[in-house]
Structure 1
Amino acid sequence: MTPAARLAAAIDLLIALESQPRRPADATANDFFRARRYIGGGDRRAINDLAWSVVRQRLRLDWWLARIKCRTTARMLVAAELLLDQSMDVEMVLAAFPGGQYAAEPLSVLEERLLRQLDASRAGIEGLVHPDMPEGIRLDLPDWVLPGFRARFGDRLAEEAAAMEAEAPLDLRANLLKTTREEAAAALAAEGIETRPTPYSPWGLRLPHRRPVTQTKAFLEGLVEVQDEGSQLIALLTDARPGMRVADFCAGAAGKTLALAGAMRNRGRITACDVSAPRLEGAVKRLRRAGVDNVERHLLVPGDRWARRRAGQFDRVLVDAPCTGTGTWRRNPDARLRTDPTDLAELCTKQGEILHSAADLVRQGGRLVYATCSLLPEEDEAQIEAFLDRHPDFAPLPLAEAWTEAGGAGAPPAEGPYLVTSPARHGTDGFFAAILQRKPVG
């Protein structure tokens, strides 16, 4: 494809994303490219890079276009991205819209006038950040998360916000059922993919940039799984051991279930629960590839008596709760635009209900692990405080103690009673985890 054809395809992709604003952008993009199988890998990457640059900078691009009273369209968003973020001059941007077969139509007289007005409005400013921007837009954060992020990060807010804009590394987890971390690294290296050990997870390998790992022999044979180091730490802190009975109460596609099975060496029993049948079905292929045979799946449905019948039977219950996903925004920048305060309120209610239900499964002396990929205190510490007020038979196990018991090396990655990871401090996605122990009777 020519550069002009790639640009036209990026505009079409942005239009597709706009048409389904509540759907995750990666799902829409997958459908977009599946319907255009003629687009090769290199062209696809170039199209994705341009479209995702617009998505990642959307708050700022909208501010610039509103400043010149320009209606937001995919074409003008791309033109503004090229001018402001990719340092093209006006003539270069105009040349990127040449018209003709497969290329984007030339900018109209109005669009060109607006482009020149946008260029003039910069007044010597380079890049997308302008001193007149409100704080949230300057930090590339929606206003509704600022109070929670400020409470979480204090004077490190700008540093963390900047880290959320950076490209995320690709983390892998060695599958202990088939290999060791060192052997997995060697297998990948033999295929031309160099990795380094993650600093906190004893199972993790990190690639500084994304690579087509899922096409490697190491992945296809189940030696490694894609999993952020922060997510690995939650599985580690669950401290699931061989012979235990474990429930992964919000298992989804079983990412953490796989890590728990590896830690348990396939001995004991894991029940992977979820409310989504497609997610549970999607886990089957992953479990088989990893060689996991100690997992059963259970679909949670309204009126389900499964949890009641199994009250007090599990040594470990992991609740990887549905959340706003604010800790994953560097990987999912579209979520900044898809999520709003209404979602936060609804999710907080759901999290409390799930925790309450899952608590009944934990045996006396067992542990309930609550985790989110959110950095908002409302979804994290506030949920734990509310739960403990309602369930005095549980008490937090301090992070340092849980870290040592689980076999973590050195000091735990966070201070305080709970695990909190973030992109700037740890190089991971943002995760929260609390380990709650059920008090023995008597």
Structure 2
Amino acid sequence: MANDWKKTARGTALMVLEDVFDNGAYSNIALNQALQSSAMSQKDKSLVTELIYGTVARKITLEWYLAHYIADRDKLEPWVYYLLMVSLYQLLYLDKIPAHAVVNDAVAIAKNRGNKKGAEKLVNAVLRRASQEELPAPSSIRRKNKRLSVLYSTPVWLVKKLSEQYGDERAETILASLFVRNKASIRVIDPDKLPGIAAATGAELSQLSPVGLVKSAGHFVATDYFAEGDITIQDESSQLVAPTLDLQGNEQILDACAAPGGKTTHMASYLTSGHIIALDLYDHKLDLVKDNAKRLGVADKISTHKLDATKVHEVFAADSFDKILVDAPCSGIGLIRRKPDIKYNKENQDFNSLQEIQLQILSSVCQTLRKGGIITYSTCTIFDEENFQVIEKFLASHPNFEQVKLSHKQEDVVVDGCLAITPEQYQTDGFFIAQVKRIL
């Protein structure tokens, strides 16, 4: 039957990639939707996941290789090009499946997917050449930024930006680290249960978070510990945010950009009589905060409000809060390992407009903080415009605030009194945390 290709692992991967590349769908969401409605075996679902994330992560590299075999990609139907990309990814990066099987599968899909004759011949010819001839070498590209762009499948502007901020050597180390598989990472709610849960799940203690466990791979969500609220999924770097607020238990706290609620519930775990007001712009995101709070047994400590964080001072009175968390909207560049689409959806000019929003949020929330209160500012990005520069500019325009210097046992993540973690250091998300205190 002609439609059987849709039920195969490679056919499913092709349909998801069409959605990602043609419609701008997020790969993780499009993938989850495809797998939920599929009757494939777990092994095939794992292959689909590998094919989609791998093809998206290596997109620029794969396009560079294909340019050696295809004179004009615009003459191809997009799905034919994506089929070549996903098949080439298999040929180059997955060694469990023999080359002839990859080629034959691709040809079969081309035969059944298309309504024009000839697609299967082109697919067959290109993939046979790619699997039998010596491949061109990206290392031979003369221009440094272009070479690194192709080697690490990262747009030239982003390669350039990383090099400018971190120097060539560290920039390349960061880029290479983004292809190291993302760890599964959890926060354990009761620290006393850490050793037991570690032993039962085969996980290791986090090097960064005192309440974190990590595994190279694993589905913690499927465990009883998750169902019973003993653990929650949270990257190690993000677990460092709540402890910086030094919560005593009785504070009134504002979480200005709360969804999906990982840090909100972490802060709530320290509270006795205190309370958190959690804000977000969208109802469906606030629902995620509520769901998280309920599962972890802290729903009574959290109230959700739909509000733009730049308008906090218009809604809440002066001196309303003891402590405030601004986990600011940001470019998300620190999340590339988990969300490779981010590389292709950002442009350089984003950073300045994001900085404006970040400063607007800080300028609004700081008006509702009591004297002596602290604001923790965090992002999941690694660029100065959204991190150090935001804190510098905020302090320059708010003389009633001073910086609070943060520390950590891993001294390599402490930079100028802030925590600045890049993805290659501990194979975590890239992350930034700073803190300011109201002194007048």
Query: Taking structure 1 as the reference length, what is the TM-score of the superposition?
Result: 0.86
Question: Does 2:215 match 1:183?
Answer: no
- Residue 435 of structure 1: how far off its partner (Å): 0.6
Output the CA distance in 1 between the equivalents of 2:51 and 2:113: 14
Output the CA distance in 2 between the equivalents of 1:61 and 1:100: 19
Output the CA distance in 1 between the equivalents of 2:186 and 2:312: 37
Match of 1:19 in 2: 22
- 1:299 aligned to which of 284, 302, 306: 306
- 1:76 aligned to which of 84, 94, 106: 84
For residues 90-136 of structure 1, what are the alpha-carbon distances to aligned partners after superposition, in whole Å with 9 as ceiling and x for unaligned? 644322335289987896222333334545774575xxx44315322
Match of 2:188 in 1: 174
Structure 1 segment 264-413 matched on structure 2, within 5 A:
264=271, 266-292=272-298, 293-301=300-308, 307-400=314-407, 413=413
Bigger Cα displacement from structure 2, 291-300 vs 338-347: 338-347
Contact 2:334 2:429 in 1 (8 A): yes
- Residue 358 of structure 1: how far off its partner (Å): 1.6
SS in 2 for 1:317: strand
- Residue 328 of structure 1: how far off its partner (Å): 0.8
Partner amino acid, structure 1, of 2:47: A
For residues 324-353 of structure 1, what are the alpha-carbon distances to aligned partners after superposition, in whole Å with 9 as ceiling and x for unaligned? 111110011111122223433432222121
Tell me: CA distance 1:67–1:383, structure 2 relative to 1, closer, same or farther (3 Å). farther
- Residue 309 of structure 1: how far off its partner (Å): 3.0
Partner amino acid, structure 1, of 2:56: V
- Residue 25 of structure 1: how far off its partner (Å): 1.6
Specify which structure has the bigger relative contact order, considering alpha-carbon pairs within 8 angstroms and separated by 6 or more residues.
Answer: 1
Output the CA distance in 1 between the equivalents of 2:310 and 2:333: 31
- 2:166 aligned to which of 128, 134, 153: 153
Match of 2:435 in 1: 435
SS in 2 for 1:96: helix
Output the CA distance in 1 between the equivalents of 2:385 and 2:134: 38
SS in 1 for 2:378: strand
Identity over aligned pairs, percent: 25
SS in 2 for 1:59: helix
Tell me: CA distance 1:376–1:137, structure 2 relative to 1, closer, same or farther (3 Å). farther
- 1:165 aligned to which of 179, 189, 200: 179
Contact 1:328 1:430 in 2 (8 A): yes
Structure 1 segment 96-135 matched on structure 2, within 5 A:
96-97=105-106, 99=108, 108-118=120-130, 122-123=134-135, 125=137, 129-132=138-141, 133-135=146-148
Contact 2:185 2:214 in 1 (8 A): yes
For residues 190-234 of structure 1, what are the alpha-carbon distances to aligned partners after superposition, in whole Å with 9 as ceiling and x for unaligned? 4xx21121122111111121x221121111110000101100012
SS in 2 for 1:243: coil
For residues 285-322 of structure 1, what are the alpha-carbon distances to aligned partners after superposition, in whole Å with 9 as ceiling and x for unaligned? 21011110211111105996765433222121111111
Tell me: CA distance 1:26–1:433, structure 2 relative to 1, closer, same or farther (3 Å). same
Output the CA distance in 1 between the equivalents of 2:162 and 2:110: 47
Partner amino acid, structure 1, of 2:419: L
Output the CA distance in 2 between the equivalents of 1:228 and 1:372: 13
Output the CA distance in 2 between the equivalents of 1:374 and 1:16: 26
Match of 2:154 in 1: 141
Tell me: CA distance 1:137–1:386, structure 2 relative to 1, closer, same or farther (3 Å). farther
Tell me: CA distance 1:98–1:143, structure 2 relative to 1, closer, same or farther (3 Å). closer
Output the CA distance in 2 between the equivalents of 1:233 and 1:340: 29
Bigger Cα displacement from structure 2, 299-308 vs 226-235: 299-308
Match of 2:102 in 1: 93
Output the CA distance in 1 between the equivalents of 2:349 and 2:412: 34
- Residue 152 of structure 1: how far off its partner (Å): 3.7
Output the CA distance in 2 between the equivalents of 1:349 and 1:303: 11
More helix by share: 2
Contact 1:5 1:102 in 2 (8 A): no
Question: Does 2:53 match 1:52?
Answer: yes
Partner amino acid, structure 1, of 2:10: L
Partner amino acid, structure 2, of 1:229: E
SS in 2 for 1:201: coil
* Contiguous gaps of at least 5 residues in structure 1: 404-408
Partner amino acid, structure 2, of 1:9: T
Partner amino acid, structure 1, of 2:31: A
Question: Does 2:252 match 1:262?
Answer: no
Partner amino acid, structure 2, of 1:96: D
* Contiguous gaps of at least 5 residues in structure 2: none
Contact 1:185 1:205 in 2 (8 A): no
Partner amino acid, structure 1, of 2:196: A
Q: For this pair of structures, how many residues does the alignment match?
A: 420
Output the CA distance in 2 between the equivalents of 1:350 and 1:2: 46
Output the CA distance in 2 between the equivalents of 1:185 and 1:261: 23
SS in 2 for 1:348: helix
Contact 2:111 2:119 in 1 (8 A): no
SS in 2 for 1:78: helix
Match of 1:28 in 2: 30
Tell me: CA distance 1:151–1:398, structure 2 relative to 1, closer, same or farther (3 Å). farther
Tell me: CA distance 1:32–1:65, structure 2 relative to 1, closer, same or farther (3 Å). same
Structure 1 segment 4-15 matched on structure 2, within 5 A:
5-15=8-18
Q: CA RMSD in A?
A: 2.9
Output the CA distance in 2 between the equivalents of 1:124 and 1:254: 47
Contact 1:370 1:435 in 2 (8 A): yes
Match of 1:43 in 2: 44
Contact 2:309 2:364 in 1 (8 A): no
Output the CA distance in 2 between the equivalents of 1:98 and 1:230: 44
